[in-house]
Amino acid sequence: MAEDRFQTIVNEIYERFKVYGVTRKEIESRLKLLLFEFKVPEEEAKRTIVNGLRKNYNIAKGDLKTPIVKISQIEPNQWVSLKGKIIQLWEPSSPTIAQTGLIGDETGTARFVVWSKSNKKRLEEGKSYLFEKVVVDEFMGIKSIKVTSVSDIKEISEEIEVKEERGEIEVVGALVAIQQNSGLLQTCKLCGRVVKAGICVEHGKVETNEVLRLRGVLDDGERTYDLTLNEKCISSLTGIGIKEARKLAEEHLDRSIVLMELKKRLFGKYLKVSGELRFRSLNASSVEFYRPEILKEVEKVLGEEGI
Partner 1 sequence: MIKGMKREVAKRVFSKEFNYSKFKVGGEGEKEAVYVLTPLGLRCNRLFIVGVLLEKEEVKPDSDMWRIRVADPTGSFLGFVSKFQPEALEALVDLNPPEIVAITAKAKLLERGDRVIPLIRPENINSSDFQTRDYWIVETAKATLKRIRAIENGEEKAVIEKYDPDLEEFRSAVINALMKLKEEQNILEKGREFEREDKERKEVKKDLGFEIDEEIVDLSDFDIGD
For partner 1, the binding residues (CB under 8 A) are: 90-91, 93, 100-102, 111, 139-142, 174, 176-177, 217, 219, 221-224, 263-264, 267-270, 290-292, 294-295, 297-299, 301-302, 304-305, 307
DSSP secondary structure letters along 23-76: -HHHHHHHHHIIIIIS---HHHHHHHHHHHHHHHTT--GGGPPPPB--GGG--T
Q: Residue 159 or residue 304: which is nearer to partner 1 going by CB?
A: 304
Q: Contacts with Zn ion in 177-196 (CB under 5 A)?
A: 188, 190-191, 193
Cβ at position 155, least distance to Zn ion in Å:
22
Q: Residue 16 or residue 213: which is nearer to partner 1 going by CB?
A: 213
Residue 140's binding partner among partner 1, Zn ion, none (Cβ under 5 to 8 angstroms by kind) is partner 1
Q: Residue 101 or residue 108: which is nearer to Zn ion going by CB?
A: 101
Q: Residue 4 or residue 305: which is nearer to partner 1 going by CB?
A: 305
Residue 305's binding partner among partner 1, Zn ion, none (Cβ under 5 to 8 angstroms by kind) is partner 1
Segment contacting Zn ion (CB under 5 A): 47-55, 83-91, 96-104, 202-210? 202-210
- Tell whether residue 211 is a contact of Zn ion (CB under 5 A): no
Half-sphere exposure of residue 227: CA atoms within 13 angstroms, side-chain side: 34
Distance CA 265, CA 271 (A): 12
Cβ at position 177, least distance to partner 1 in Å:
7
Neighbour-count burial for 87-104, b at 16+ CB within 10 Å, e otherwise: bbbeebeeeebbbbbbbb
Distance CA 290, CA 300 (A): 18
